[in-house]
C-alpha cells in the first residue's frame, strides 16, 4: 500500500478510536510525522553494525526527532492531540496516556522504516516500561496489526525496554509482558543506560534471556586502573548475555577508546557516530 494511503488509514483509525476528528499523522517530503501538542515527532534511524565488520548492518535503532509544530491551520488540532494523548506532568501514573503516546511514536517509526526495510535487518523500537505495566494482557497485539498493515513481520521488530533499579522491583510484571511480546514473534532487548545499572540488574538479565542487551558506552577515564575496571565489568555483562544465547550491543560509541573497549569486551554489535564516520571515510576512499 502506498505511504500516503497508509497515513490516511492510520488517521482514520485514530479518529475512530478516540471518537474525534483529530488526524495526527502527516506526510511531508516522503517523511511521516506525528503531531503531539505543540511539537511534531518524526524518526531518526541509527545503524547497528557488527563489531568485527563495521560495514555489515544488522539493523537500526529508531529514535525520536522532535521539532516545533507551528502550522496555524492545525494549531487547535495539535492542542487537542496533546490533551488526548498525554498529561504526564500532572498525572505521572496515567498509564493510558503513556500507552497512547507510545503507540503514536511507534506507528510513526514503522511508517518511516518502510524505506529502510528492503535492506533487511531488525528494527529496535523503545517501549516505555509503564506501557508494559499498564497493559494487563495481549501485549503487542495492537502493534502487530500496525506491523502487518505495513507489510512487515513481528520477527523483524525488537521491542526494547529501558530498565533501571526502580523497574527491577516490578520484574515479574515486566517479564510477563515481555514474554507476551515474544510469544507473538517479537524479539526482545534490554536497554541499560549505564554500566553500573547493568551490574544491579543481572537477575533480570538472566531471567528474561533477551535476544539483545544494549549498554551505553561508558566515558573513558585517563586512569589505566579505571579503564581496567570498566573493561572487566563490561566483559562480565557480555559473558552473561552470551551464556543465555543473546547478543550484546555497545551503543553511543563516539571515540576510538570506547570502540577498543567494545572489541576487548567482546561485544557482538556496536552503534555510534564513531563507526558511522569510519564507514563514511572508507566509502569516500573507494
Whether the model clears a pTM of 0.75, i.e. scores above it, the answer is yes
What are phi and psi for residue 121, nearest 5 degrees?
85, -175
Torsion angle (degrees, nearest 10) of CA 15, 17, 18, 23: -30
Distance CA 268, CA 266 (A): 6
Contacts of 67 (CB under 8 A, 6+ apart): 39, 40, 42
Distance CA 209, CA 11 (A): 37
Nearest to 250 by CA among 188, 198, 208: 198
Pairing relationship of beta strands 25-28 and 212-216 according to DSSP bridges: unpaired
Cβ 244 vs Cβ 206: under 8 Å = yes
What are the pLDDT digits (tens) for 88-134?
Answer: 334 444 556 777 788 889 999 999 999 887 777 999 999 888 888 88
What are the pLDDT digits (tens) for 21-70?
Answer: 888 999 999 999 999 878 899 999 999 999 999 999 999 999 999 888 87
Q: 256 falls in which pLDDT band (50, 70, 90)?
A: very high
Is 219 in a helix, a strand, or coil? coil
> Which residue matches cell numbers 554500566?
195
Which domains does the chain possess?
Answer: 44-63+98-285 (3.20.20.450)
What are the pLDDT digits (tens) for 217-246?
Answer: 988 764 455 667 788 888 988 998 998 999
Distance CA 227, CA 245 (A): 27
Q: How far are the Cα atoms of 98, 101, 129, 174, 214 from residue 171, in angstroms, in the given order?
A: 19, 23, 10, 5, 18
The Cα angle at residue 102 between residues 193 and 267, in degrees rounded to 5: 30
Cβ 208 vs Cβ 178: under 8 Å = yes
Amino acid at each position: 500500500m502506498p505511504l500516503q494511503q497508509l497515513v490516511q488509514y492510520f488517521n482514520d483509525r485514530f479518529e475512530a478510536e478516540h471518537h474525534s476528528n483529530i488526524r495526527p499523522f502527516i506526510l511531508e517530503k516522503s517523511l511521516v510525522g506525528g503531531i503531539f501538542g505543540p511539537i511534531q515527532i518524526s524518526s531518526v534511524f541509527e545503524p547497528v553494525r557488527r563489531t568485527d565488520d563495521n560495514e555489515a548492518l544488522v539493523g537500526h535503532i529508531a529514535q525520536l526527532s522532535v521539532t516545533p509544530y507551528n502550522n496555524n491551520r492545525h494549531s487547535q488540532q495539535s492542542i487537542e492531540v496533546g490533551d488526548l494523548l498525554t498529561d504526564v506532568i500532572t498525572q505521572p501514573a496515567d498509564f493510558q496516556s503513556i500507552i497512547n503516546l507510545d503507540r503514536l511514536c511507534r506507528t510513526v517509526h514503522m511508517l518511516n522504516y518502510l524505506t529502510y526495510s528492503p535492506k533487511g535487518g531488525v528494527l529496535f523500537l523503545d517501549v516505555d516500561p509503564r506501557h508494559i505495566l499498564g497493559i494487563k494482557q495481549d501485549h503487542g497485539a495492537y502493534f502487530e496489526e500496525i506491523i502487518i498493515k505495513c507489510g512487515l513481520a513481528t520477527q523483524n521488530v525488537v521491542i526494547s525496554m529501558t530498565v533501571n533499579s526502580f523497574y527491577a522491583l516490578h520484574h515479574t510484571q515486566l517479564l510477563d509482558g515481555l514474554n507476551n511480546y515474544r510469544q507473538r514473534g517479537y524479539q526482545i532487548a534490554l536497554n541499560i543506560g549505564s554500566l553500573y545499572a547493568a551490574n544491579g540488574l543481572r537477575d533480570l538479565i538472566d531471567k528474561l534471556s533477551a535476544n539483545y542487551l544494549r549498554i551505553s558506552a561508558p566515558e573513558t577515564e585517563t586512569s589505566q586502573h579505571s579503564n581496567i575496571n570498566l573493561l572487566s565489568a563490561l566483559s562480565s555483562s557480555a559473558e552473561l548475555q552470551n551464556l543465555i544465547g543473546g547478543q550484546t550491543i555497545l551503543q553511543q560509541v563516539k571515540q576510538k577508546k570506547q570502540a577498543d573497549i567494545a572489541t576487548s569486551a567482546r561485544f557482538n554489535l556496536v552503534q555510534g557516530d564513531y563507526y558511522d564516520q569510519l564507514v563514511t571515510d572508507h566509502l569516500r576512499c573507494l
